[in-house]
Amino acid sequence: MIMGALCDFCGEQRPTIYCRSDAASLCLSCDRNVHSANTLSQRHMRTLLCDRCASQPAAVRCLEENTSLCQNCDWNGHAATSLAAGHLRQTINCYSGCPSSEELARIWSFDFDAPSAAAEPNCEEGISMMSINDSGVSNHCGAQQDSSLLDMANTSLISDPHTREKLNTGDEMNLRPLPTHQPAQSVSMAPKVPCVTDDDMFNDGSIYENFCVDDAGLTFENYEELFGTPHIQTEQLFDDAGIDSYFGMKEMPAADCNELKPAQPECSNAVSADSSLCVPARQAISSISLSFSALTGESNAGDHQDCGVSPLLLTGEPPWLPGPEGSIASGSRGSALSRYMEKKKRRKFDKKIRYASRKARADVRKRVKGRFVKAGEAYDYDPLNDTRSY
DNA sequence: CCTGTATTGAAGACCACACTCGTTC
DNA sequence: TAGAACGAGTGTGGTCTTCAATACA
């Protein structure tokens, strides 16, 4: 975690949650406050914040080092050439709504003991209740049972073959990562593993129904309390590999990229079809633990960047592009690095939020037919209800 | 090929209000 | 010169409206 980074909302606490919809880093308290404000904000998909860069949503959690990493940091830190390449890693799933601390821990399959959280009232009066039992998620208001939450949690340990077996046999609860060293690379090569993508969740609409509002504050306030370990400094994780790790591998001509695809089907399998990307040698030697679609369920470039996927994969012109000899001269390596940094600077996302606080306010502000209304005015408009007030 | 109608998608307007920034004292 | 006070302008998101482009008879 980058020191000095503060919650975008309160500006006081250290952020641990990344809200993709808000493009904001929030502490747990503000995450709950902001996303329990109304039914719309409850839909925001959130995940952990990358411990290393503190600016991207975490995609995987290194079980060896107890750190959450975005795709970029994961690649950098677990490059095949590094000692950490064999670290067992676990995908980190998004959540929405307002789950309790215990449920969060369950979503991420982390060992978390929070008796106070278990006793915490989960829902507010008048809003559908949710509970989790052995048979899945139930909605007290009569909504269809939906196992999306547990699916997300259960698919977390996809790098563990024992876990995979458990998943397939329906043994869903109390999954714990086995302390074995296995590269997460195997994950991307395991198409049989059930993987709930954002698309899946949104398409069936179930993700919206499983959570409820809870005005009570979370019983844990910081990262240490949730995960039981302090943040591990970047220096402890990586040997200053940084972006250089991108360029320490054998290069491959871009022109050959497409031509190689048929000969390397695993490449296109690992990368989701919708991304239509070619990931050369990097794919084979590194540990990509997620398909892109599994990360975001979206396919535009901005979102891939948002979820931590290197822009190198999006440009079709990665810096490990080859010289004729197929190896990097020191000069071309430098130029490749500079080109990469330049492209990174020029990266543009779909929408840039200049003031996170204003966005947070707008998210919780009352509306009628999409328009803001005065705070004191009668408010009987429910966007999820057909009977509207005109 | 031209015309009229229906459909689709994109762009902009609208709203309240916290916040930013420049000006004045 | 520094700080406070003030006011004008900005930015934020969901929904609706408008209009251009396209498809079809």
User: From the Cβ of A355, is strand B under 7 Å away?
Assistant: yes
Residue A150, pLDDT score: 31
**Taking every pair of C-alpha atoms in chain A, what is the biggest distance, in angstroms?**
72
Q: Is the CB of A142 under 7 A from strand B?
A: no
State the pLDDT confidence band at A11, using cuts at 50, 70 and 90.
low
A21 nearest nucleotide via C1' and CA: C13
User: What are residue A25's DSSP bridge partners?
Assistant: A18
Strand B, nucleotides covered by protein (CB < 7 Å)? 13-20
Estimate in Å the CA A195 to C1' B8 gap, whole number: 34
pTM of the entire predicted model: 0.36
Give the residue, A124 or A365, on which the prediction is more confident: A365
Q: Mean pLDDT over residues A376-386, rounded?
A: 49
Does the CB of A373 sit below 7 A from strand B?
yes
Q: What is the pLDDT of residues A222-240, one digit of tens each?
A: 333 333 333 333 333 333 3
> Nearest 5°: phi and psi at A27?
-80, 170
Q: What pLDDT was estimated at residue A372? A: 86
Residue A367 CA distance to nucleotide B5 C1' (Å): 36
How many Å from the CA of A365 to C1' of C12? 10
Question: What pLDDT, on a 0 to 100 scale, did the predictor assign at position A113?
Answer: 37
Distance A368 CA to C9 C1' (A): 25
Strand-by-strand arrangement of the A89-91 sheet = A67-69, A60-62, A89-91
Residue count of chain A, please give it. Answer: 390
A13-52: string of b/e by CB count within 10 Å (b at 16+)?
Answer: bbbbbbbbebbbbbbbbbbbbbbbbbeebbebbbbbbbbb
C1’ C9 / CA A8, Å:
23
- Asked if the model's pLDDT at residue A130 lies above 70, the reply is no
Contact residues for strand C with beta carbon within 7 Å: A 21-22, 40, 351-355, 358-359, 361-363, 365, 367, 369-372, 383, 388
Nearest nucleotide from residue A358 CA, by C1' atom: C12
pLDDT tens-digit series, residues A253-282: 333 333 333 333 333 333 333 333 333 333
Does residue A192 approach strand B to less than 7 Å at its CB? no
Q: Which amino acid is at A160?
A: D
- Residue A136 three-state SS: strand
At A81, is the pLDDT very low, low, confident or very high (cuts 50, 70, 90)?
A: low
